[in-house]
A and B are shown apart, each in its own frame.
Chain A
Amino acid sequence: MSSPAPKSPEQSEKNKKYDRQLRLWGDHGQAALESAHVCLINANGLGTEILKSLILPGIGAFTIVDGEKVTEEDIGCNFFLDHDSVGKSRAQATIQLLLELNPDVRGDYVDESVEQVLENNPDFFNNFSVVISTQISERVIIRLSKKLWELEIPFIACQSYGFIGYARIQVQEHTVIETHPDNEVPDLRLDKPFPSLKELIDSIDISKMELKDHAHVPYVVILYKCLQQWQQENEGQIPKTYREKESLRKLIRAEILNNDDGIPHDEENFEEAIKAVNTLAPTNIPSHVREILDDESCINLTSKSKPFWIMAKALREFVENEGAGALPLRGTLPDMTADTERYIHLQQVYHSQAAKDAEVMFRRVQQLLREINQSPDSITEKDVKLFCKHTSTMHLVRGSCIADDYDNKIFAQKLAPHLEDPESALVYAVLLRGVDRFRIAHGTYPGEYDDQVEPDIVKLKSCVSKLLNEWSCGPLAKDDYVHEICRYGGGELHSISAFVGGCIAQETIKFITSQYKPIHNTFIYDGITSNTASFTL
Chain B
Amino acid sequence: MMGSGDGSDNLHHRWSHLRKILERPGPFCHPDFEASPETLNFLMNSCKILVIGAGGLGCELLKDLAYMGFRNIHVIDMDTIELSNLNRQFLFRHKDIGKSKAEVAANFINTRIQGCHVVPHFSKIQDFDESFYRQFHIVVCGLDSIVARRWINGMIISLLNYENGVLDTCSIIPIIDGGTEGFKGNVRVILPGMTACIDCTLDLFPPQITYPLCTIANTPRLPEHCIEYVKVIQWPKENPWSVPIDGDDPQHISWIYEKSSERAAQFSIPGVTYRLVQGVVKNIIPAVASTNAVVAAACATEAFKLATSCCLPLNNYMVFNDLEGVYTYAYEAERKEDCLACSQVPQKIEFKADCKLEELIAHLCESAQFRMRSPGITTQTGGHSRTLYMSTVASIEQQTRGNLRRTLQELGLSDGDQLLVADPTSPNTVVLQLKLLNSTT
CB-nearest residue of chain B relative to A496?
B301
Residues of B within 8 A of A279 (CB): none
Interface residue A371 (Cβ < 8 Å from any Cβ of B): no
How many angstroms between the C-alpha atoms of A122 and B374 in the bound complex? 67
Question: Is B301's CB under 8 angstroms from A11's CB?
Answer: no
Given A20-B287, A72-B11, A83:B114 Cβ within 8 A: yes
Question: Is A495's CB under 8 angstroms from B220's CB?
Answer: no
Question: Is B87's CB under 8 angstroms from A18's CB?
Answer: yes
Question: Is B63's CB under 8 angstroms from A79's CB?
Answer: yes
Question: Is B330's CB under 8 angstroms from A529's CB?
Answer: yes
Residues of A within 8 A of B257 (CB): 6, 8
How many angstroms between the C-alpha atoms of A484 and B11 in the bound complex? 26
Minimum-distance CB pairs A-B, first 7: A6-B254, A502-B293, A494-B67, A498-B297, A502-B294, A491-B17, A499-B297
Interface residue B1 (Cβ < 8 Å from any Cβ of A): no
Question: Is B68's CB under 8 angstroms from A57's CB?
Answer: no
How many angstroms between the C-alpha atoms of A45 and B89 in the bound complex? 18
Residues of A within 8 A of B304 (CB): 493, 495
Q: Which of A142-150, A252-260, A381-389, A514-522 contacts B (4 or more CB under 8 A)?
A: A514-522
How many angstroms between the C-alpha atoms of A469 and B242 in the bound complex? 79
Interface residue B246 (Cβ < 8 Å from any Cβ of A): no
Question: Is A493's CB under 8 angstroms from B21's CB?
Answer: yes
Question: Is A506's CB under 8 angstroms from B296's CB?
Answer: no
Residues of A within 8 A of B122 (CB): none
Question: Is A72's CB under 8 angstroms from B14's CB?
Answer: yes
How many angstroms between the C-alpha atoms of A16 and B270 in the bound complex? 24
How many angstroms between the C-alpha atoms of A144 and B67 in the bound complex? 32
Q: List 26 A-B contacts (CB under 8 A).
A: A1-B242, A6-B251, A17-B83, A20-B87, A21-B87, A76-B17, A79-B113, A101-B90, A179-B324, A340-B219, A344-B221, A450-B24, A483-B27, A484-B26, A487-B20, A487-B25, A495-B298, A495-B301, A498-B60, A498-B63, A498-B297, A517-B324, A523-B326, A530-B318, A532-B328, A534-B326
Proximity string of chain A (478-489) to chain B, C-beta cutoff 8 Å, 1 when within and 0 when not: 001001100111
How many angstroms between the C-alpha atoms of A523 and B15 in the bound complex? 27
Instruction: Please report A residues at the B interface, Cβ cutoff 8 Å.
Output: 1, 3-4, 6-11, 13, 16-24, 45, 49, 52-53, 56-58, 71-73, 75-77, 79, 82-83, 86, 100-103, 162-163, 179-182, 216, 335-336, 338-340, 343-344, 347-348, 351, 447, 450, 453, 480, 483-484, 487-489, 491-499, 501-503, 505-507, 509, 516-520, 523, 527-532, 534
For B, the interface residue count at a CB cutoff of 8 angstroms equals 89
Residues of B within 8 A of A506 (CB): 183, 288, 290-291, 322, 326
Instruction: Please report B residues at the A interface, Cβ cutoff 8 Å.
Output: 9, 11-18, 20-21, 23-28, 60, 63-64, 67-68, 83-84, 86-88, 90, 93-94, 112-114, 182-183, 187, 218-222, 240-242, 250-251, 253-255, 257-258, 261, 267-270, 274-275, 278-279, 284-294, 296-298, 300-302, 304, 311, 314, 318, 322-328, 330
Residues of A within 8 A of B87 (CB): 17-21, 56-58
Question: Is B301's CB under 8 angstroms from A527's CB?
Answer: yes
**Minimum Cβ distance to chain A for residue B297 (Å):** 4
How many angstroms between the C-alpha atoms of A423 and B27 in the bound complex? 15
How many angstroms between the C-alpha atoms of A52 and B300 in the bound complex? 18
CB-nearest residue of chain B relative to A75?
B14
CB-nearest residue of chain A relative to B288?
A21
How many angstroms between the C-alpha atoms of A163 and B288 in the bound complex? 25
Residues of B within 8 A of A1 (CB): 241-242
How many angstroms between the C-alpha atoms of A509 and B182 in the bound complex? 14
How many angstroms between the C-alpha atoms of A82 and B68 in the bound complex? 16
How many angstroms between the C-alpha atoms of A356 and B113 in the bound complex? 60
Question: Is B311's CB under 8 angstroms from A493's CB?
Answer: no
Question: Is A23's CB under 8 angstroms from B284's CB?
Answer: yes
Question: Is B60's CB under 8 angstroms from A491's CB?
Answer: no
Choice from B26, B60, B289, B323 contacting A180 with Cβ under 8 Å: B323
Residues of B within 8 A of A163 (CB): 21, 301, 311
How many angstroms between the C-alpha atoms of A66 and B233 in the bound complex? 60
Choice from B222, B279, B286, B327 contacting A21 with Cβ under 8 Å: B286
How many angstroms between the C-alpha atoms of A76 and B18 in the bound complex? 9
Given A344-B268, A488-B20, A493-B21, A22:B275 Cβ within 8 A: yes
